[in-house]
Amino acid sequence: MKLDKLGRKNLPWVYLFILPSVVVFLTFYLLPIVTVFVTSLTRWDGYNPPTFQGFRNYSLLLSRSVFLISLRNLLWWSLIAGTLHVGFGVLVAFLFSRRPVGWKAVRTVYMIPNVISGAAWAMIYRFIFNNDFGLLNGMIRVFAPGFNVKWLFQSPYAFWAVTLTWLFYAVIITLIVHADLMSIPAELHEAAHIDGATGLQIAWRIDLPLCRFSIGTSVILSITSRIAMYEAVALTTRGGPGDDTMNIPIILVNAITDMNYGYANAAAVSMFVLGIVTLVLVNWLFRMNRRVY
Amino acid sequence: MKKCTVFILAALMLVGLMPALWATAAEEEAEGPVELVIPHYKAGQNVGGKFFLPQVERFNTMYEGEYHIVIEELPQDGYMAKMKQLAQQGQLPALIEGADNQWFEDVMIANDRVYDLGPWLNSHQEIKSVLIDDALSFNTVDGAVVSLPQAVTRPIGLFYNETMYDPGKRIGEMTFDEFADSLGRNKIAFMTSENAWTTGLFLTGLIVAEPGGAAMLRAGLEDKVYDYTGPIWLRATTRLQGFIRESGSANTLGAAYADAANAFMSKSAAVIANGPWMVNDFTPSSSDKWSGGFNGNQVRGDIYPGNSAIANVMGYRWWIPASTPEPEREAALAFLEFMMQPEELEAYMIAEGGTAPKLQVSQSFLEQQAQDRVLSDLATAVNADTTFTVAVYDAMPQSIANEEFGKLLPKLLDGSFTPAEFLEALSKKAEETRM
């Protein structure tokens, strides 16, 4: 495309204003990513110079049961995140878009958990799931007095207990989808009403397809959060009991504790690759390269 | 024109920040006491903070206007990992207590990143003379003293509540079978979370009761143990599983240290394995931690059945990074000197127990120590035949001791793993730490 006179005159300014972003990207994103990729091929204790050893860290990673268990857990968590977690957030967004009585108050309450850090939530859940004085077992014991489950320390409950620490906190998803819903032209709804469509039909056949982008984006956010999920596991089960709730970030941090930075970075690369795969898959599934309107 | 204005405004904002940067630099150069910010776990609710924080305050008062130490609170089980991260970033504080031996030797000592305390000790013979010989020898690497060797040894044993449990005779004189019989329906405060500290101590006692167990652990201090499938481990772990399942307190599954201590200090458990620093929790000033009719004066101290106690003087203690600037190093050395004064060592032993074999203690110290029944119990429980041992944690690689042992224990407790399977899984994890 040929630039006109004004465009050519503005070009130095364009570059000047882009420059800080480019510098920040190169320094704080690209360089660390390249470093992670390169050092994943080395034996490195974090202090002495790394020594190249090819793909040994990757073959070790893939041969260890803890990595395979982590992948299995990630697959389950991703499925739950992409369906129940996102589904819940979308459902709440749809409810808010109908503006029922008291929706603003509910919205405020719904947002509150989002201002509490993940680490704090993990600690709160340790108390909620406590067998002796925890809220959950206390409520269950009202109906079943002999109930006795240590949620975070018994198989197979630990996996589900960790899942519950994030499952219903879908504020970001609700915000994204709600904003998308609000931008749907009112004429479409009016036309549907004139044609005799019910509220459910409008939601299913108009609103939901038109929110394809925001729902797809939410699925990407939700699954990548599961790939990088650390506090929810580290501060509750630390990957236990046994390896029941292990995930890749815990493998990464443990490797750092053992001064195996090359191995830790191989785990980091696997997270990076899984993130890219998620991005491509969700883009394809939600046809995010095609226009909505 | 607009762009020019925006650009000039942005430049002005940048220039506006400069005075702040200059101010920071100026502050660094300002006269005043040298301040040391030391991240440490002996703070807040940590039992070690009860003595350590007032000690720091005494130092600050003594050196007012010259040095000032600020303690930054860290969780205990993340302390060493944090130090490793700070070391990698070149941001280590001026004083660090303890070290993961393998990391300290392979990284810090091997790369000359530790300040040699040798010349300082030579110029402070009054300090050097009270250091335990084995500790000094262990801490001397190629002629350099890499960390301040211990002057005080504190045998780690167990505590019991005499209103709940009457052993009939000294526990150290019993076998583990006799101990199990004497317990009756009383419970032991075990842990299966964090690093399962109280459980690991009890396991140490069980291992030492096995022929060759103490020697195996001692060897593991220098060459970590990676294979736990041998008969000593198997027999000890089988007995541990029995104790946990038969005599473990109700909250054992998932219990962190606070839960175990709470079980003991609420009379839900009659016995807890722990070090003498826990006596702080038995003083009236800690009565807010008591419940269920517990009172600190009901507690007695003893060592493990089979006449063994955990006491490891061969470890790394306080050390100073070589990169520490001169003024801060002087402050750090002043603090070490302060801690090693006879009156501070005596105060430490009164507060947290232990003995200083080479220190000429005062009469008032002996009188005070005799008044503390628990410390007196511990001091008199050991005899010439007592086996002093290192803990299982000292013989395991860091991540196995701090992470995997505690993570796998729930499976041993709920029966998902047999002792053999538990040890096999632990060995597999340990082997994976070898790269």
Distance (Å, whole) CA B53 – CA B38: 12
Q: What CATH number did the domain enclosing A196 receive?
A: 1.10.3720.10
Span(s) in chain B for CATH 3.40.190.10: 36-152+314-370, 157-313+380-432
* Contact flag B253-A60 (C-beta cutoff 8 Å): no
> Considering only the top CATH level, what class is B157-313+380-432?
alpha beta
Q: Name chain A contacts of B411, Cβ cutoff 8 Å.
A: 155, 241-242
- Say if residues B281 and B261 touch (Cβ distance below 8 Å): yes
pLDDT class for B18, splitting at 50, 70, 90?
low
Which of the residues B398, B432, B434 would you substitute to probe the A interface, choosing the one with the greatest number of A C-beta atoms within 10 Å?
B432
Best of A10, A238, A253, A261 to mutate (most B CBs within 10 Å, chain B): A238
Which residues, other chains included, contact A137 with Cβ-Cβ below 8 Å and sequence gap of 6+?
A: A129, A130, A131, A147, A148, A149, A151
CB contact under 8 A, A154 and B410: yes
Report yes or no on A192 lying in a domain.
yes
pLDDT one-digit tens code per residue, A138-158: 999 999 998 989 999 998 999
Of B85, B254, B407, the CB nearest to A242: B407
Determine the residue type at B274.
Answer: N
Tokens encoding B435 = 């790269």
**Percent residues over pLDDT 90 in chain B:** 71
Residues B432, A64: C-beta atoms closer than 8 Å: yes
pLDDT in tens, B48-89: 898 999 999 999 999 999 999 999 999 887 898 899 889 988
**pLDDT tens-place string over residues A235-264:** 999 998 999 999 999 999 988 888 889 999
pLDDT, chain A, mean: 92
Most B-contacting residue of A69, A251, A257 (CB-CB within 10 A), to test interface: A257
Does residue A20 fall inside a structural domain?
A: yes
Per-residue pLDDT, averaged over B175-181, amounts to 97
**DSSP designation for B157:** E
Tell me how close the Cα of B85 comes to any Cα of chain A, in angstroms: 9
Is A68 in CB contact (< 8 Å) with chain B?
A: no
The residue assigned the tokens 């530790």 is B114
Q: Do A153 and B410 touch (CB under 8 A)?
A: yes
pLDDT digits (tens, 9 = 90+) for A155-187: 899 999 999 999 999 999 999 999 999 999 999
Report the pLDDT value the prediction gives residue B30, as an integer from 0 to 100: 56
Chain A residues within an 8 Å CB radius of B424: none
Residue B88 near chain A (CB below 8 Å): yes
Best mutation target, B262, B407, B408, B428, to test chain A (most A CBs within 10 A): B407
Residues whose CB falls within 8 Å of the CB of residue B394, separated by 6 or more in sequence, listed in order: B101, B217, B220, B221, B312, B315, B401
Averaged pLDDT for residues B301-310: 96
Assigned domain for A293 exists: no
Q: B26: pLDDT confidence band, cut at 50, 70 and 90?
A: very low
Kindly report the average pLDDT of chain B as a whole number: 91
CB contact under 8 A, B81 and A43: no
Mean pLDDT of B362-378: 89
Classified as helix, coil or strand, B96 is: strand
Instruction: Report how far apart, in Å, the C-alpha atoms of B372 and of each of B210, B253, B368, B378, B379 are.
Output: 33, 33, 7, 10, 11
What HEC string does A16-79 produce? Answer: HHHHHHHHHHHHHHHHHHHHHHHHCCEECCCCCCCEECCCHHHHHHHHCHHHHHHHHHHHHHHH
List all residues of chain A from 125 to 144 with a beta carbon under 8 Å from chain B: 131-132
Number of A:B CB contacts under 8 A?
87
> Could you tell me if residue A1 is inside a domain?
no
Predicted TM-score of the model (pTM): 0.82
Contact state of B253 with A131 under an 8 Å Cβ cutoff:
yes
Domain that holds residue A21: 13-285
Which residue has 């004083």 as its token pair? B95
Count structural domains, chain A: 1
> Domain for residue A75, yes or no?
yes
Check CB contact of A260 with chain B, cutoff 8 Å. yes
Q: For residue range B200-230, list pLDDT tens digits in order.
A: 999 999 999 999 999 999 999 888 999 999 9
Provide the pLDDT for residue B24: 47
CA distance B84 to B402: 14
Q: Say if residues A205 and A189 touch (Cβ distance below 8 Å).
A: no
Domain B36-152+314-370 -> CATH class:
alpha beta
Mean pLDDT by 10 residues, chain A (293 residues): 77 90 94 96 90 96 95 97 96 93 89 85 91 91 92 93 93 95 94 93 94 96 96 92 95 88 96 97 90 75
Does residue A212 form part of some domain?
yes
Q: What is the pLDDT of residue B25?
A: 47
Cβ of A45 within 8 Å of Cβ of B406? The answer is no
Distance CA B353, CA B373 (A): 11
- Set of chain B residues whose Cβ sits within 8 Å of the Cβ of A66: 432
Confidence category of residue B13, pLDDT binned at 50, 70, 90? low
Residue A257: which of B398, B416, B432 has the nearest Cβ? B398
Put simply, the chain A residues between 196 and 225 with a CB less than 8 A from any chain B CB are none
